[in-house]
Amino acid sequence: MNKHLLSITQLSREDVLTAESFREVGTRVIKKVPALRGRTVVNLFYENSTRTRISFELAAKRLSADVINFSTSGSSVAKGESLKDTALTLEAMGADAIVIRHSSSGAPHTLSKWVEASVLNAGDGTHEHPTQALLDLFTIREHFPSIEGVRIAIVGDVRHSRVARSLTFAMATMGGDVTLVGPPTLIPPEAAAWGANVSHDLDGVLPKLDVCYMLRVQKERQRQQFFPSVREYARLFGLSRARVEALPESAVIMHPGPMNRGVEIASDVADLPRAVITDQVTNGIAVRMSLLYLMLGGDRSRVVEEDARLDDAARVEAPSA
């Protein structure tokens, strides 16, 4: 595993599969292992987040690391302190890993040149969101034995979506079959070079899918009008109940969150059993635990010792008759 995780393109097939190694810890009564005891993880978030920030926090805590949550409001960033000085300050306090979300594409890459700590990209501008792609692959593998040949449509605002870029690259690495679907204004011209098919006809694509992955319409990143109205967008590219009927029975529905219910996905569709959106969130913790463990050189012997201790405790609690 690399020292930093800046782009999903850094990872091999094997790296992607190792991201599942901590899944079981999340199902234990005591969800904690001592693998990163004494290490410090900083969540450096310059943009809002619910899932990614809390998931990294829980992942680090379940590995027994110390966690510092940094947000720009209330910090010296509000007084004009630069990203570099902020990062060097946090590193001087002993950060071993910095998890960064930033509105500027490339900020994690730049940060990795300034600090000794491992840098993990938690979403940078319209560039990439590699840990989201890993948790998405993990979730798909819960429903299909292999990603090889899995047919996925990534639907909507591809132009502004770091999730779409990372997931397309990740699916290509694993042998999946990706179609990017959206209005021409929301599919960037370079998308054809990502190893994906492109379509502007959602209804034509739906019957052939294993995974229908809906993207959030990112109004905050759109500096011009990319479609006539939200109503028109929902009519042409929203996943309605009627469109779900066109999917094969085995197909699953995914969304990275946060959702605009009633825009890219109908509210009742988001709550269907085949919409695995909360599973994606749950799986994010295991994926991020694995990454932190692998990147910070966690002590596997401590995990094995903890497993043995828990086994002993279980035997004492449940003596055989």
Interface residues with ligand CP (CB under 6 A) are: 49-52, 123, 132, 256-258
Listed in order, strand segments (DSSP E) in the chain are 40-45, 66-71, 97-102, 118-124, 151-155, 177-181, 197-199, 211-214, 252-254
Give the residue from 208, 180, 205 showing the smallest Cα distance to 192: 180
What is the DSSP code (8-state) at residue 157?
A: -
CB of 170 to ligand CP, least distance (A): 14
Residue pair 119/144 in contact by the 8 Å Cβ criterion: no
Q: For residue 180, what are the β-bridge partners? A: 154, 198
Residue 132: both structure tokens together:
């989201």
- Strand-pair category, 151-155 with 211-214: parallel
Element (H, E) at 171: helix 162-173
Q: Take residue 110 and report the two structure tokens written for it.
A: 């730049």
Active site residues: 51-52, 79, 101, 129
Q: How far is Cα 318 from Cα 70, in angstroms, rounded to an integer?
A: 43
Tokens of 36: 């990163």
Of 101 and 206, the one with the shorter C-beta distance to ligand CP is 101
Residue carrying the six token digits 């292992």: 33
Distance in Å, CB of 51 to ligand CP, minimum: 4
**Minimal distance, residue 152 CB to ligand CP, in Å:** 17
Alpha-carbon gap, residue 10 to 174, rounded angstroms: 13
Cβ-based nearer residue to ligand CP, 52 or 283: 52
**Nearest approach, Cβ of 313 to ligand CP (angstroms)?**
35
Q: Name the minimum Å distance from CB 292 to ligand CP.
A: 16
